[in-house]
Amino acid sequence: MTTLTDDTLSVTPRAMRDELIAFAVMALLLASVPFTGVYPFFVMQALCFALLACAFNLLVGYGGLLSFGHAMFLGTAGYCSAHALKVWALPPELGILVGIAAAFVLSIITGFISIRRQGIYFSMITLALSQLLYFIYLQAPFTHGEDGIQGIPQGRMFGIFDLSKPTVLYYVVLVGFLAGFLLIFRIINSPFGEVLKAIRENEPRAISLGYRTDQYKFLAFVLSGTLAGFAGALKVFVAQNASLTDVHWSMSGEVVLMTLVGGLGTIFGPVVGAFVIIAMQQYLAGFGQWVTVIQGSIFVVCVLTFRRGVIGEIAHYFRRSL
């Protein structure tokens, strides 16, 4: 049995340098968006999904655990942030914290339940758990069912930044995304990340080396879930609503697709994948009927012939780590 990703290069100074250069290029590109005439709301939405996909990738690409229920963290954080902002009238920064805290608690509970089973079972359990939450949110009064939480006030971040201005909002979202991204980057390159990769490659060996692999996997799950929650909280400011679509299983599927397209277990892959998929959704909106068929086809093509994803293929071609 081969693992999800092939030849991961070990962290050499050169790999580190490549990744930092790539990061700088990405940050510069994204920071210049408001000056290019590209529609900022589109990019903001893509950034939220990119962060979500990165968080998801932390779990699957480095921990080898394919969660099919990551929408539950996105949606839970979204609902809780939205509720905090609208009903409790908290300032934006506290609203985000409420969302992150909710995702944190949820990931501890669901992690405790799901981490007991491996492989395919883990995927099915996370899917079932997220479906359970979907039904709960559908019936819970505070989510307003199908109507969702609407018209969420954007307010002023730290009392200074007026988030109702698109450019200000854009940079706040961008900073949030970059912070989350750097954190994930840091985790991957930490000793903890190395152990995680060792577990993914060969769990029995890691156990025999004395690592309590379940604890490592649990921690990865909680980190991933909490960061996904951060993405969900940011998304509330962009969309100004929180709705059931964010907890539905099809959203979990989309996250998987983004990461797969960009490259499982690559650092920048999920970002590229998120932009590709969101762009596709926007520009194929006119085609309507065929979107799901196209998404399905991408899944099939990726799995059969393109398992490294866009970034994975590039990295492989140039023998670089990205």
* Minimal distance, residue 290 CB to other proteins, in Å: 7
Cross-strand bridge partners of residue 204: none
SS3 category, 259: helix
- By CB under 8 A, which span of 18-26, 183-191, 218-226, 289-297 interacts with other proteins? 289-297
SS3 content of the chain, % helix, strand, coil (to 5): 75, 0, 25
Binder to other proteins among 14, 17, 116, 205 (CB under 8 A)? 116
If one asks whether residue 279 binds other proteins (CB under 8 A), the answer comes out as: no
Tokens of 286: 């006119």
* Minimal distance, residue 20 CB to other proteins, in Å: 30
If one asks whether residue 189 binds other proteins (CB under 8 A), the answer comes out as: no
- By CB under 8 A, which span of 12-20, 28-36, 129-137, 267-275 interacts with other proteins? 129-137
If the CB atoms of residues 45 and 107 are measured against other proteins, the closer one turns out to be 45
If the CB atoms of residues 13 and 208 are measured against other proteins, the closer one turns out to be 208
Binding residues for other proteins restricted to 138-167, rule: CB under 8 A: 138-139, 141, 144-148, 150-151
* Minimal distance, residue 283 CB to other proteins, in Å: 10
What would the DSSP string read from start to end of 81-136?
Answer: HHHHHHTS---HHHHHHHHHHHHHHHHHHHHHHHTTS-HHHHHHHHHHHHHHHHHH
- By CB under 8 A, which span of 17-25, 26-34, 120-128, 221-229 interacts with other proteins? 120-128
If one asks whether residue 136 binds other proteins (CB under 8 A), the answer comes out as: yes
Binding residues for other proteins restricted to 7-66, rule: CB under 8 A: 39, 41-42, 45, 60, 66
Binder to other proteins among 3, 190, 202, 215 (CB under 8 A)? 3
Q: Where are the alpha helices (DSSP H) in 140-268?
A: 166-188, 191-201, 203-208, 213-239, 249-262
SS3 category, 242: strand
If one asks whether residue 6 binds other proteins (CB under 8 A), the answer comes out as: no
**Contact string 63-92 vs other proteins (x = CB under 8 A):** ---x-x------------------------
Q: Phi/psi at 177 (nearest 5 deg)?
A: -60, -50
* Minimal distance, residue 300 CB to other proteins, in Å: 4
Cross-strand bridge partners of residue 157: 161
If one asks whether residue 204 binds other proteins (CB under 8 A), the answer comes out as: no
Q: Are 71 and 252 in contact (CB under 8 A)?
A: yes
Cross-strand bridge partners of residue 162: 156
* Minimal distance, residue 304 CB to other proteins, in Å: 6
C-alpha pair distances (Å), 259 with each of 60, 141, 155? 9, 33, 32
